[in-house]
Amino acid sequence: MTDLALPYRDRVHAGRLLAGALAAYRGRPGLLVLALPRGGVAVGREVARALEAPLDVLVVRKLGYPGHEEYAMGAIASGGVRVMRDPPPGAAPQAVAAVLAREEAELLRREQLYRQQRPAPGITGRSVIVVDDGLATGATMRAAVLAIRQQQPEQLVVAVPVGSAQGCRELEDQGTEVVCPARLEYFGAVSQWYVDFPQATDEEVRQLLDDAQREHARQASRPQ
């Protein structure tokens, strides 16, 4: 249940409200906000701005069932992380392998496009908040959590504006702290909890990351 008036206007609105729920982390030394592209970056941008933290991306790709791509059979993330459900009944191994190959290629393409020549941020020993625009089954976020934990952060927090109560519970049952202002027992799709939910583009992601990098540099240079 939630006391929030849903749906959110857009990802910026959702990000600002989510940032309010994360206010205790503002100014924490070494804090890093990682957003899941594409849709999570606009949310993460508002969180990073409010918390005065650097923003970067963690690329994760959902693995759709062959022939039914809207249903997730798992996800992959940077660092060779793979989270899989049981193989779909009747799905040929070749079809599953083709999905994996396609999504691995797309993951690499996005990493190169979004980061350009910038190295991936260091995570070891830092407090990390990983952000998306919503959480449905949780497969994508579970892959993100595994990828981050491999690098031994001091603290890891999953933050989403809206999510399924079951998806949040599954993450918490695995020992992950979850901040989700709107947990819903009957969830459906992430898009139904937003008035304006356009498909984010690669160019928008790059622009948001560039803007965030410049703003954080200005924040860091201010006299204390």
Q: What is the CATH number of the domain that holds 174?
A: 3.40.50.2020
Instruction: Establish if 111 belongs to a structural domain.
Output: no
Instruction: Establish if 71 belongs to a structural domain.
Output: no
Calpha distance 179→22 (Å, rounded) = 8
Instruction: Establish if 83 belongs to a structural domain.
Output: no
Instruction: Establish if 151 belongs to a structural domain.
Output: yes
pLDDT, the chain, mean: 91
- Mean pLDDT throughout 210-218? 89
Q: Is 78 helix (H, G, I), strand (E, B) or coil?
A: coil
- Structure confidence by residue, pLDDT tens digits, 182-193: 999 999 999 999
Residue 62 CA, distance from chain mean position:
12
Instruction: Establish if 46 belongs to a structural domain.
Output: yes
Instruction: Establish if 50 belongs to a structural domain.
Output: yes
Give the total number of structural domains in the chain.
Answer: 1
Instruction: Establish if 5 belongs to a structural domain.
Output: no
**Phi first, then psi: what are they for 60, rounded to 5°?**
-130, 140
In this prediction the pTM is 0.89
Residue 171, both tokens: 């993450």
- Structure confidence by residue, pLDDT tens digits, 153-201: 999 999 999 999 999 999 999 999 999 999 999 999 999 999 999 999 9
- Structure confidence by residue, pLDDT tens digits, 118-149: 888 999 999 999 999 999 988 889 989 999 99
**Phi first, then psi: what are they for 152, rounded to 5°?**
55, 65
Boundaries of domain holding 175: 11-59+121-221
Instruction: Establish if 99 belongs to a structural domain.
Output: no
